[in-house]
Amino acid sequence: MEGERRIARDTAVVVGANILSKILGFGREAVLAAAFGASAATDAYLVALIIPVLLFGLVGNTITTVGIPFFSEYIHRPEKRAELPGLIWTSFHAFTLTLLVIALAGLPAAPWLVHILAPGFAPEQAALTVLLVRILLPMVVIMGVVGWAQGVLNAWQHFAAPAFMGVPYNIIMITGILLAGAWGGIAGVAWATVLATVSQFLIQVPALYRRGITYRPIFHRRHPALKKMLWLSVPVLIGVGANQLNLIVDRMLASLLAEGSISALTYAQRVLTLPQGLLALPLITVLYPALTERIALEDTAGFRTGLGRGLTVLAFMLLPITVGTMVLRQDLVRFIFQRGAFDATDASMTATALLFFTPGLLFLMWREFLSRAFYALQDTATPMWTGLAAVAVNITLNLLLIRPMGLAGLALSTSAAAALGCLLLFWLLRRRLGHIGGKALLGETLRITAASLVMGLLVWWLDERGLGLLGWPAPGKAMGGLAGFVLQGLRLGLVITAGGIIYFFSCRLLRVGEMGYALNLVRGVLKRLIPRPAAR
């Protein structure tokens, strides 16, 4: 029970921060869409943003994934606690120096990288993208420092400061986009992105300081943990690079389609970041250090229990969202984005991409959680090669489907690749641990799927027919201005609320076993997000 209360408490912190961050994040995307639309300028910015994210991902993400198990081991084992500062600052200097070299190498290579990433860009658009890449390259080092700080704090079971990173980031981005739209052009958005990324590190500094983590010029290049971290990082580098290759191939092929296709893909993925960021990733973020702690304490049974329940709760949360998003995709896109320069054509393209991205949502989050399970076991090779297999499937399907399906084919390929990677990881983890409750998970998932489909059917009827009987305008009817925006929001809120009630009762009727655990977790989160008023 104490473990469940701790998970609920920590998840509440992350969810609360992410709610605020996601509200601001959707404001950022809406402002960007209104200021620049799905245009050549936004395509250039989004392609340029891939490069620092790719270069950071090839090195920086390893400190969060590989670093946490090592930091956790040195924190929870008293005999190693004295060596913790040396490991923390040695890893900081090693990763920062590596990322700095990569960022500097990216400056002269920018035109070549842009040509590879967007071969369909016209010369003027390619030149703009090169300029934006050079503005954004300092993010490689900044994001590395941000990831290092997050890894250290998460290993200490501290989640608040990293969770709130998105708040100053999005405030700075919204301000920068508004100013850039009025005066500076898309280059102003790039400068704002760099400044916003700096704020993600600064917000974590006080939390580091409170744990006694003050700067020390320590670099033990022969530190045994550093050597092992670097060795285990190699498969992570390959695996992360493979995932980034998916993104690159999608953007390369989308640049050959109609103008705005890259932006439509990106905006559709942004819609899915809401359930990922508000529900799935907070839970995974909290459970991952808990899994590493079970392994450090050699508690395999506790590891299996945490893994199985995590997978079930992810299914309980994400399957109804998957069905609901597919049914309400057009309404969601119109409500979030369709204003200003973002017109009905842009909305149609984005809704199409969203329809085919959404089936991969649960597989993507399951794959993320299963990968963390392998990282907790200090096995980084398995997620690497399963990631490579998923990339091969994605690229093959991209090439096969882009001609008959266009934008939809690129999105569907991503979903199929996520499913394959997830299933491979599940099978391999079962072989390694002997059992992980696969039959129980399958039974629960089938019941949850049935409840979600019942909900989806009734939500579709309510959206297309039911509200019309009550005098509401048809979902596709144009509604402009603030009044139209509010009416769209009320309509969506009513339909989503009705869907949630239908889903709840469907799960009860189908006897979803882990529903009680999931609801207890939700109650614990809500109690901490909405504390009771003090007694008078």
Residue 8: CB partners within 8 Å, gap ≥ 6?
520, 521, 523, 524, 525, 527, 528
pLDDT for position 124: 87
Give the dihedral of Cα atoms 138, 54, 195, 275; nearest 10 deg.
-170
- Single-letter amino acid, residue 360: G
Chain Cα centroid distance, residue 117: 22
Structure tokens at 183: 């005066």
Tens of pLDDT along the chain (536 residues) come to 555 566 656 666 666 777 777 778 777 877 887 777 767 788 888 888 877 876 665 555 666 667 777 777 777 677 777 777 888 888 888 888 888 888 898 889 888 888 887 777 888 888 889 999 999 989 888 988 888 888 888 778 777 788 788 889 999 999 989 888 777 788 888 999 999 999 999 999 998 888 888 888 888 777 777 777 777 777 776 776 677 677 778 877 887 888 778 888 888 888 888 888 777 877 787 788 778 778 877 788 888 888 888 898 899 989 999 999 999 998 888 888 877 677 788 888 899 999 999 999 999 999 989 988 898 887 878 888 888 888 889 999 999 999 899 889 999 999 999 999 999 999 999 888 877 777 888 888 999 999 999 999 999 988 877 666 565 666 655 455 666 677 777 888 888 999 999 998 999 898 887 677 666 666 655 555 455 544 44
Q: What is the residue range of 377's domain?
A: 2-528
- Answer yes or no: is 89 within a domain: yes
Radius of gyration of the chain (CA): 23
Dist. CA 32–CA 174, nearest whole Å = 8
- Answer yes or no: is 151 within a domain: yes
Nearest by Cα to 154 from 285, 319, 30: 285
Structure tokens at 455: 């909900």
Dist. CA 457–CA 463, nearest whole Å = 10
Contact 175, 92 (CB under 8 A): no
Among the residues of 297-380, which ranges form H helices?
Answer: 300-327, 329-337, 344-357, 361-376
- Single-letter amino acid, residue 424: L
pLDDT for position 450: 95
pLDDT for position 471: 58
- Answer yes or no: is 536 within a domain: no
Quote the crossing angle between the two packed helices 139-155 and 40-57, to the nearest 10°. Answer: 50
pLDDT for position 266: 84
- Single-letter amino acid, residue 489: G
Residue where the block lists tokens 């893994």: 307
> The dihedral of CA 262, 267, 271, 274: what is its sign?
positive
Burial 79-106 (b: 16+ CB within 10 A, else e): eeeeebebbbbbbbbbbbebbeebbeeb
Dist. CA 109–CA 103, nearest whole Å = 10
Residue 7's φ and ψ, nearest 5 degrees, are -60, -45
Nearest by Cα to 397 from 408, 387, 386, 382: 408
Dist. CA 201–CA 148, nearest whole Å = 9
Contact 317, 361 (CB under 8 A): no
Dist. CA 491–CA 472, nearest whole Å = 8
pLDDT for position 535: 44
- Return the number of other C-beta atoms located less than 10 Å from residue 494's C-beta: 16
- Answer yes or no: is 91 within a domain: yes
Name the burial class of residue 478, with classes exposed (0-12), middle (13-18) and buried (19+) by CB atoms within 10 angstroms of its CB: exposed
Residue where the block lists tokens 């579709």: 460
Name the burial class of residue 480, with classes exposed (0-12), middle (13-18) and buried (19+) by CB atoms within 10 angstroms of its CB: exposed
pLDDT for position 293: 76
Dist. CA 299–CA 176, nearest whole Å = 49
Contact 94, 227 (CB under 8 A): no
Domain count across the chain: 1
Contact 327, 460 (CB under 8 A): yes
- Taking the alpha carbons at both ends of the chain, their separation in whole angstroms is 30
pTM, entire model: 0.70
Give one word for 406, left, alpha or beta, with left for phi > 0 and alpha for psi -120 to 50: left
Dist. CA 360–CA 396, nearest whole Å = 17
pLDDT for position 413: 93
Residue 471's φ and ψ, nearest 5 degrees, are 95, 5
- DSSP H or E segment with residue 69: helix 67-76
- Answer yes or no: is 533 within a domain: no
Contact 356, 412 (CB under 8 A): yes
